[in-house]
Structures are given as structure tokens and as C-alpha cells.
Structure 1
Amino acid sequence: MRIRVLGTAAGGGFPQWNCACSNCKQVRNGNDAFQPLLQSSLAVSANEKEWYLINAGPDVHKQIESFPALHAGPGIRETPLAGVILTDAELDHTIGLLSLREGSCLTIYGTEMVRETLHSSFPVFPMLKDYCTWEWQCLSPDFLLRVGPSGGSDEEMLLIETVPVSNKPPLYTQIYDEGNNPENIWEVGLVLHNQKSGKCLAYFPTLDVITPAIEASLKKADIIMVDGTFWSEDELVEMGATKRDAKSMGHLPIGGRGGIAEKLAAIPAKRKILIHINNSNPILEMGSLERNTLERLGIEIAYDGMEVEV
């Protein structure tokens, strides 16, 4: 199973034109130590013929162009992109679906709450009904999902395990459901199993708490990619960018007691990689204290174009 990191940025991307944080200023000023990052997304394939995006953000066209394996052809309307797997309904993970309207044979995967949202609060499917016909497949923690070509062998199929992360809906839905109905799963993580090798990758781009189910998924994975959005709890508050801390935004900070870095230290995975990184995060700066701390712990920082084999 081949996995390509198409983008690593959280939120609105990096750099933001109106952002006054040090990292964005450095990029706009041409500092070569800082590189603009595309929106967090993966491309995954079990056979290197059919490819699936994990989340589709506003940079989806740039990401497809950056990776030859996703290029269209040789036939008209022919594409190796077979579907999109959504971990939630946030705009930075779904707005790219509008740019994929030419792909009339795509299968979209997500939880039932995500499906309802894409038919109502953010009506992607009604908007595109005259442009394309997409199939929907439900993600549920109740069963493993085989993804791949019809009639394909185990070696050609992805086996996807869905792990609940949060019942926090996107702000744009104006639905306040936190803690009310645990069956309403808004955000999930994914464990991608390679049936041929017997290995798996755990992907959790957003984490606000590590539940026993999430911890079990991380411990059994050979490679993990997890939420690296913020280094500290009050990162954006101290910048004056918002009054909301990391926790209220649905992200467990990397640093500090009980943070992501401390949690990862107890995980036996061969590779531990941070992804979904906000432009304010000091780990983006080469040589920073925070980055050096992660390197000493054996924790990697994802970059656009990174590839792993599972």
C-alpha cells in the first residue's frame, strides 16, 4: 500500500495572506527556510492503479497536479482517482469536492452525519447533481470496509477501519450536539490495512482526546499520522488571533503534560508522524526548540510530497 502526503497544512492553509504570525511573515518575505504548505490530504492506493483521496480541500487541483499518479488519461474523462474518503465534514476537508465535479465515477465515503451535512448545511450533492453522479458509501465503526476495484483480490483492496473521534459538528452547521448523542459521529480516524503485508497505518488528522479505542488503534499500527495542529494550548490566543484555545477547536496540543508528544512516546509504532499543522506552529521552523524536541523523541513532521509504504 502506497501513501502519498498531498498536503500537511491545517485550517486555511499556509501561508495565509492576512495572517501576522511569524511563520507566514517569513514565507511572504521569501525566507527559504519556510515553505508554503498545501491543505492536509493523503492519496492512498493498494495497487497503484486506483487511488483514493483522504479528504479534499481547497488545494485539490494543485495536489492532483503535483502527483503524476493522479494525472488523467489516457482516455477522455479517464482518471486513476476512484474516490474520496472523508474524515469529517469540515470545509477544509470537503470544499474540494466542488472542484472534482468532472469525476463522474467517484465514490465518496463518510459517516452518516457527514452525508446528511453534504445534502443540507453544505449541499455539495444537490449542487452537483446536474454535473456528476457519485456513489456514497457509509463509514461506520461497526464494520470494516473493503475499498477497491469490483471483484478485486485482497491484494488490490484497502481494508478501512473507522474509529470515532468526536461528535463535534462543523461551526457552519450551527448544530450544537456535543455530548448529546454519541451516535452522531462527526469526526473519525482511519486505520488503513494492507491485507497482503499484514501491516497498517493509523490516520487521525484531528484529535481532542485519546480515547481507549483511539489508543488501541495507534498501538497496533506500524505507522501513525496524527494531529499536529498546535504546539501549545493557547497558541492562537497569545497571538491575538482568536479567543478559542486548541481544545475548544478540537485539537490536543503537541507539547506540555498530556500532549500529543508525550502520548506518542508510549506508542510502539515504527514511525510516528505529525500532520495537519497550523501555520502558527513553531515546529515548522527548522532548528526551533520545539522541532528539535520532536526529533529527539523520534517523532517526524510530515511534508508535502512525503511517501510511505505500508
Structure 2
Amino acid sequence: MRVRVLGVAAGGGFPQWNCACPNCRGVREGDEALQPLLQSSLAVSPNEQDWYLINTGPDVGRQIESFAALHAGPEIRNTPLAGVILTDAELDHTIGLLSLREGSHLKIYGTSTVRKCLHSAFPVIPMLKNYCSWEWRILSPGTKQRVGRMDEKGEGTIVIDTVPVSNKPPLYAQCDKKNPYPNDEWEVGLLLHNERSGKCLAYFPTLDTLTPEIEAVLEKADILMVDGTFWSEDELVKMGATTRNARDMGHLPINGPSGIMEKIASYSAERKILIHINNSNPILKQDSKEREIVKQVGIEIAYEGMELEV
């Protein structure tokens, strides 16, 4: 299974390279290694022919252009993009579906809660019904979902275990007083199995707590890609950007007691990678002490174009 990082940025706020606040200007100043960040997304393929996007945000067009394996052709409307796998219904993970409306035969994978939301609060599926004929495949915790085409040996697929993360709906759905599913599983993590190699990758772009079920998945995965949104609990509060701390916004901080770093540093995974990083996070600065702390405990920071074999 081949995995390509298409974007690493957390959604919300200004892109780092446009943000005018003093903090972000200070992060950028004198650091030529800082590049514009695209919204957090992966491309995965079980066979180097059929590719699946994990989450699709507003940058999806630029992300596809940046990766030759996703380029269309040679025939008209011929594309290696076979489907989209959604971990939630957040705008920064779903709004790119609007740009994929010409992908007539895509399979969309997501929970029943996300499916209902994309038919109601953010009705992207009804909006596009006259443009494309997508097929929805349900991701359900406790049920394995096979993605991809089997070859003559019965191989060539990815097997997904879906892991509940949070029942917090997107802000736009919270505003919907008619929301009939406030307690459903809104956010999930994914454990992607390559049956051929016997290895698996855990992908959790958002984490607001580490349940025993989540910890069990992280402990057994060969590669971890997890929420690196904020360095500290009060990162945005100190900036004056909000009154909500990291956990209030649905993210465990990297640093501090019971933070992401403390937990994943103890796991035996071959690689441990932070992804979904907010523009305020000091680990983005190449020479920051925070970045060095992360590296010293054996944790990597995702970058656009990073590739993995699982």
C-alpha cells in the first residue's frame, strides 16, 4: 500500500502564509523553509493504479495537480481517482467533493452520520446528483470495509477498521436545531491494513481523547499518523484568537501531561508522524525548540509530498 501526504494543515483560520497576525508573521520571518500549507489529506493506493483520497478539502485541485499519479487521462474523463474516504463531515474535509463532481463513478466511504449530514446540513450529495452518480459505502465501527479491486490472487485491496473518535458535530451542523442525530459518531479514525504485507497504518487527524479502543489501535499499528493540531492546550487563547482551549476545539495538544507526544512516544510503531497542524503551532518553524523536542523523542512531522510504504 502506497501512501502520499497531499496536505498537512488543520482547517479553520487563515492559511499560514496569508495570516496577518503578529504570531504568524513571527513564525514566517527569516524562515525560508516554511512553505504554504494545504489542507490535511492523504492519497492511498493498494495497487499503484486506483487511488483514494482520505478527506478532501478546498485545496483538492492543487493537491491532485501536485501528484502525477492522480493526473487524469489519457482518455477523456479517465482518472486514477477511484474514491474518497471521509473521517468526518467538517468543511475542511468535505468541501472538496464539490470540485470532484466530474468524477462520475467515485465511491464515497463514510459513516452513516456523515452520509446523513451530507444530505441535509451540508447537502453536497443532493446538490451534485445531476452531475455525477457516486456510490456511498458505509464505514461502521466494528465492521471491516474492503476498499479497492481484488486481483486474480484475491489481493490488491485495503481493509479499513473504523474507530470512533468523537460525537461532536461540525459547527454548521450544531447550528441546525433540527439536527436529528446529535449523539452519533461524527468523527472516526482509520486503521488501514495491507493484507499482502501484513502491516497497517493508523490515521487519526483529530483526537480529543484517547479511549482504550483508540489506544489499542495505536499500540498495534506499524505506522501512526495522528493529530498534531496544537502544541499547547492554551495556544490560541494566549494569542487572543479564541476563548476555547485545544480540547474544547476537539484536539489533544502535543505537549503537556496526557498530551499526544507523551502517549505515542511510548508506542512501538516503526514511524510516528504528526499531521493536521494548525498555523499557530511552533513545530512548523524549522529551528524551534518545540520541533526539536518532537524529533528527540522519535516523532516526525508530516510534510506535503511525504510518501510511505505500508
TM range (shorter): over 0.9
Q: Match for residue 32 of structure 1?
A: 32
One-letter amino acid matched to 2:241: A
Whether 2:261 is the aligned partner of 1:261: answer yes
Separation of aligned partners in 1, 2:192 and 2:152: 17
Separation of aligned partners in 1, 2:112 and 2:251: 23
Question: In the TM superposition, what is the alpha-carbon distance from 1:19 to its structure 2 partner?
Answer: 4.3
Contact kept in structure 1, 2:202 and 2:221, CA below 8 Å: yes
Cα 1:130/1:16, change in 2 over 3 Å: farther
Separation of aligned partners in 1, 2:107 and 2:129: 14
Which SS does the other structure have where 2:155 is aligned?
A: helix
One-letter amino acid matched to 1:144: K
Separation of aligned partners in 2, 1:60 and 1:283: 24
Contact kept in structure 2, 1:70 and 1:80, CA below 8 Å: yes
How do 1:91-130 residues align onto structure 2 when only pairs under 5 Å count? 91-130=91-130
Q: TM-score, normalised by structure 1?
A: 0.94
Contact kept in structure 1, 2:31 and 2:285, CA below 8 Å: no
Separation of aligned partners in 2, 1:144 and 1:105: 22
Question: In the TM superposition, what is the alpha-carbon distance from 1:17 to its structure 2 partner?
Answer: 3.0
Q: Match for residue 69 of structure 2?
A: 69
Identity level (%): 67
Is the deviation greater in 183-192 or in 148-157? 148-157
Which SS does the other structure have where 1:155 is aligned?
A: coil
One-letter amino acid matched to 2:210: I
Question: In the TM superposition, what is the alpha-carbon distance from 1:305 to its structure 2 partner?
Answer: 0.5
Question: In the TM superposition, what is the alpha-carbon distance from 1:243 to its structure 2 partner?
Answer: 1.1
Question: In the TM superposition, what is the alpha-carbon distance from 1:149 to its structure 2 partner?
Answer: 2.0
Q: Match for residue 270 of structure 2?
A: 270
Separation of aligned partners in 1, 2:160 and 2:154: 13
1:33-82 deviation digits (Å, cap 9, x = unpaired): 31111100000001010000000000000000000000001110000000
One-letter amino acid matched to 1:246: A
1:109-152 deviation digits (Å, cap 9, x = unpaired): 10011000000000001111111110000000121011112676
Cα 1:111/1:16, change in 2 over 3 Å: farther
Question: In the TM superposition, what is the alpha-carbon distance from 1:176 to its structure 2 partner?
Answer: 8.8
Q: Match for residue 252 of structure 1?
A: 252
Separation of aligned partners in 2, 1:30 and 1:121: 43
Separation of aligned partners in 2, 1:284 and 1:153: 44
Question: In the TM superposition, what is the alpha-carbon distance from 1:14 to its structure 2 partner?
Answer: 2.9
Separation of aligned partners in 1, 2:273 and 2:263: 13
Question: In the TM superposition, what is the alpha-carbon distance from 1:174 to its structure 2 partner?
Answer: 2.0
Q: TM-score, normalised by structure 2?
A: 0.94
Is the deviation greater in 290-299 or in 183-192? 183-192
Q: Match for residue 309 of structure 2?
A: 309
1:86-107 deviation digits (Å, cap 9, x = unpaired): 0000000000000000100100
Question: In the TM superposition, what is the alpha-carbon distance from 1:265 to its structure 2 partner?
Answer: 1.8
Separation of aligned partners in 1, 2:51 and 2:151: 16
Separation of aligned partners in 2, 1:135 and 1:101: 13
One-letter amino acid matched to 1:118: L
One-letter amino acid matched to 1:295: K
The CA RMSD over aligned residues, in Å, is 2.0
Cα 1:266/1:241, change in 2 over 3 Å: same
Which SS does the other structure have where 2:76 is aligned?
A: coil
Contact kept in structure 1, 2:17 and 2:36, CA below 8 Å: no
Is the deviation greater in 109-118 or in 150-159? 150-159
Is the deviation greater in 94-103 or in 8-17? 8-17
